[in-house]
Amino acid sequence: MNNSAPPLKLGICGLGTVASGLIELVTRDVSRVAECASRPLAITRIASRTPRPSIMPDSAEFIEDPFALIGDTEVDVVVELIGGVEPARSLIERALELGKPVVTANKEVLARHGDALFSLARARGLPIGFEASVGGGIPIIKALRESLGGDAISRIVGIVNGTTNFILSRMNEDGASFEDALAEAKSLGYAEAVPDYDIEGLDAAHKIAILASLAWGIPFDVEGVRTQGIVGIRLDDLAFAERLGYFVRHLGLAQRVEACIETQVFPALVPRSTLLAHVRGVTNAVQVTSHAVGSSLFIGPGAGALPTANSVLSDVLDIANNRAVPWDAGRAQRQDRNAGTDADSQSSSAYYLRAQVDDKTGVLARVTELLAGQGVGIDALLQPEIEAAPSKAPAAGASIVMITHKTAESNMREAVACIQAMPEIHGQVSLIRVFDGD
Ligand code: HSE
């Protein structure tokens, strides 16, 4: 580091989990950070609705109004850690208009307004660092943008939301209830300010929209991501899945399907023999398939203060070291390859189906008949209560659990609608896709 160089003055908007991690990284190990930068870093201003004097660095002045922070001459780089769309979008726009580089962890604002914001940044010749927006501490943005920037990517699949993976792991491994596991994820700082974003799949959809845009140069299109979360997945689904040789994971998928880029997030039964099945807790994993490299897997903590703050810091260091560039050339060249997204793709999959049934002869036969009527065959079948007490017919509330052969989604949904309408069925039939990597 050049100690005589003027410090790069950071203004942080937002004082939540990631900001606290960034303050810790920048201020607790100053000499190590200094070794990585060609000039000193100084956090000079922090804006937040809620002051947290206990974590404020000595170098920083607290301001309530984030727009005042952006205009402040004591701020060279704006670090946006507020989250959500507004005021984050306006703050980033304002910072760029004032000629200040931006670093953000905000996946929602990029997934919804990335095209306009990156276009403004390009016009001003300014970088927007966004490594922390996807995968927490995993350097997946740089990997796609730089390391795999020349390769032809055909598919990105993985676990991109730490909270849902944490919840599914705690339920499966420790028998925790959904509610308790979610409360724990919140207390550990993994969940979004509105945790519905995690459990209903929106957060993962934002991230998949960003990864798809990076991989194929297509516009950010979060509305085009078919989005299903993990609400409604029960402890017994996880246990039955495990007996059948699978773990349940919440996946994000972006893939080229003929001329289209298909994007979706969904819960899935993943074979226990695969790497993704063994990604536990808050860990994220992104598997990229590309022409030259083949398959590469990026894995690490997907949320949490220090891992995510490290991604923010890496973007700040790129700016300090003059190696941050506007996201431009590759993207502009790729526009002609923009295939658009296809929300209606009907690729075929196997499915897990669980139904609570009445104590009546012929119910299983009727269920299989309805499936066969849509051309859906059965690959594996469990009748847990009958297996436990073979001499007895299933009592009310007994379960039929099966894995189907591969079938088109429309056929499966048609069959399930008919099964759901049977008078012998209790509650909601559970339908989860099986993802075996094909
Ligand atoms: N709520 C997000 C998650 C935070 O759980 O993955 C990191 O983006």
Q: Where are the domains of the chain?
A: 8-133, 140-301, 350-434
Task: Tell me how far the alpha carbon of residue 63 lies from the centroid of ligand 1, in angstroms.
Answer: 27
Assign 75 to helix, strand or coil.
Answer: coil
Residue ranges lining ligand 1, Cβ < 6 Å: 136, 161-163, 190-192, 198, 203, 302-303
CA distances (Å), 187 to each of 141, 163, 180, 195, in order?
A: 27, 11, 11, 12
Reported as a single tens digit per residue, the pLDDT across 346-373 is: 578 999 999 999 978 899 999 999 999 9
Give the list of residues 6+ apart from residue 177 with CB closer than 8 angstroms, or none. Answer: 171, 235
Q: For residue 185, which atom of ligand 1 is closest to its CA?
A: 5
Task: Tell me how far the alpha carbon of residue 203 lies from the centroid of ligand 1, in angstroms.
Answer: 7
Both tokens of 50, joined, read: 């809620």
Q: For residue 161, which atom of ligand 1 is closest to its CA?
A: 6
Q: For residue 197, which atom of ligand 1 is closest to its CA?
A: 1
Q: Which of 18, 108, 160, 161 best tests ligand 1's pocket when mutated (most atoms within 8 Å of CB)?
A: 161
d(CA 105, CA 12): 12
Task: Tell me how far the alpha carbon of residue 142 lies from the centroid of ligand 1, in angstroms.
Answer: 18
Assign 330 to helix, strand or coil.
Answer: helix
Sign of CA dihedral 185, 186, 192, 194: positive
Q: What is the mean pLDDT of residues 302-314?
A: 97
The reported pLDDT for the residue numbered 334 is: 52
Both tokens of 358, joined, read: 């009445």
Per DSSP, what are the bridge partners of residue 117?
none
Strands 425-434 and 260-271 come out as: parallel
Reported as a single tens digit per residue, the pLDDT across 236-290 is: 999 999 999 999 999 999 999 888 999 999 999 999 999 999 999 999 999 999 9
pLDDT over threshold 50, residue 293: yes
Nearest CA among 141, 168, 169 for reference residue 156: 141
pLDDT over threshold 80, residue 387: no
Find how far residue 96's CA is from the centre of its chain: 27
Q: Does domain 140-301 have CATH number 3.30.360.10?
A: yes
Reported as a single tens digit per residue, the pLDDT across 179-206 is: 999 999 999 999 999 999 999 999 999 9
Q: Which of 18, 82, 203, 208 best tests ligand 1's pocket when mutated (most atoms within 8 Å of CB)?
A: 203
| Beta strand spans in 125-279 (E) | 128-129, 153-159, 226-227, 246-257, 260-271
Reported as a single tens digit per residue, the pLDDT across 3-14 is: 678 999 999 999
Residue 10 is inside which H or E element, if any?
Answer: strand 8-13
Give the list of residues 6+ apart from residue 140 with CB closer than 8 angstroms, or none. Answer: 134, 211, 286, 298
pLDDT over threshold 60, residue 294: yes
Q: Which of 164, 184, 194, 198 best tests ligand 1's pocket when mutated (most atoms within 8 Å of CB)?
A: 198
Q: To the nearest 10°, report the CA torsion of 180, 186, 190, 196.
A: 90
Task: Tell me how far the alpha carbon of residue 347 lies from the centroid of ligand 1, in angstroms.
Answer: 28
Whether 107 is a known active-site residue: answer no
Q: Do 8-133 and 140-301 fold alike per CATH?
A: no
Q: Does domain 8-133 have CATH number 3.40.50.720?
A: yes
Q: Which of 9, 186, 207, 360 is labelled catalytic?
A: 207
Both tokens of 102, joined, read: 């931006």
Among protein residues, the one whose CA lies closest to atom 7 of ligand 1: 303
Judge whether 218 and 338 are in contact, CB under 8 Å.
yes
Q: For residue 284, which atom of ligand 1 is closest to its CA?
A: 6
Assign domain 350-434 one CATH number from 3.30.70.260, 3.90.960.10, 3.40.50.720, 3.20.20.70: 3.30.70.260
pTM of the model: 0.94
- Phi (first) and psi of residue 196, to 5 degrees: -55, -30
pLDDT over threshold 90, residue 148: yes
The reported pLDDT for the residue numbered 137 is: 97
Task: Tell me how far the alpha carbon of residue 91 lies from the centroid of ligand 1, in angstroms.
Answer: 22
Judge whether 132 and 315 are in contact, CB under 8 Å.
yes
Q: For residue 190, which atom of ligand 1 is closest to its CA?
A: 5
CA distances (Å), 119 to each of 113, 115, 129, 189, 261, in order?
A: 10, 6, 14, 32, 22
pLDDT tier at 29, thresholds 50, 70, 90: confident
Q: What is the mean pLDDT of residues 385-414?
A: 79
d(CA 83, CA 103): 12
